[in-house]
Amino acid sequence: MTTAPATARPILEAGDIVKDYPSVKVLKQVNLSVMEGDTLAVIGPNGAGKTTLFKVLSGEVFAGSGAVIYNGRDITRMPAWRRVRMGFGRSFQVASVFLDLTAAENVLVAVEAYLAQKPAGSGPGFRCRPAADVRDLVEEILVEVDLAGKGSHEARFLSHGDKKRLELAMSLALRPRILLLDEPTAGMAPADRQASIELIAAVKQRHGMTVVLTEHDMDVVFGLASRVVVLHHGELIAAGTPDEVRENPMVREVYLGAETHYA
């Protein structure tokens, strides 16, 4: 687990976020601050509003009221695609990849999207590279997410875990400053989960990113997160270090279960 340095500042803030759907009040005045370099886990029972909060943060839906501030800039009404250009990466509960393309072609799409938006020689991450080198870059990214040798596999034939790795690869190709991962280990076998935790921790460390994730698996949460916030019925009921949240009586009562024990 890596913690934000003492000098860190908030990279992403949500202030008094309210989001209603016609029949349900999903988020009720949620306040959140993500420090640069942190790994923040958003946890809570099914239907607590975690995915909706993610959508508000990433710009897939807009809050009814409240503000989203990224790097000091108000992005509350900024669409998702512009947030991606500003440094947001996103993965979904169900891996979002192009099933008819190979793994390498999927990453290539993301690399080309990244290169297309950068003026020559500018921006963090990749330096401007000749087109011939793009293929090497795609391979580098596939190796980074443990998909070496699977570049020619059509995405539809990849295992669930490999599809999630591919989705992560596509996010990494966009060189995000902040990565939003919605249940990154959902549906994975235990061994795959552990590998996934290690992979996320490694890429975060290598690229110095900030990570925000939702997760039901507490081993993943406590293995990765430096900070945890707890949503319950759309309200933020606790925030702190994993240890603080683990010991919080209200959290134990309403979410983790009073009888829950952790190693």
Ligand X SMILES: Nc1ncnc2c1ncn2[C@@H]1O[C@H](COP(=O)(O)OP(=O)(O)OP(=O)(O)O)[C@@H](O)[C@H]1O
User: Which residues make beta-bridge pairs with 88?
Assistant: 178
The minimum distance between CB 102 and ligand X, in angstroms, equals 30
Which positions touch ligand X (CB under 6 A)? 21, 24, 26, 44, 46-52
The minimum distance between CB 21 and ligand X, in angstroms, equals 3
Q: How far is residue 138 from each of residues 28, 129, 263, measured CA to CA in Å?
A: 42, 12, 39
Task: Output 51 or 194, the one with its CB closest to ligand X.
Answer: 51
Residue 99's φ and ψ, nearest 5 degrees, are: -65, -30
The minimum distance between CB 49 and ligand X, in angstroms, equals 4
CA–CA dist 167, 161 (Å, integer): 10
Task: Output 66 or 151, the one with its CB closest to ligand X.
Answer: 66
Task: Output 110 or 245, the one with its CB closest to ligand X.
Answer: 245
Q: How far is residue 150 from each of residues 102, 109, 166, measured CA to CA in Å?
A: 8, 16, 10
The minimum distance between CB 45 and ligand X, in angstroms, equals 7
Task: Output 102 or 196, the one with its CB closest to ligand X.
Answer: 196
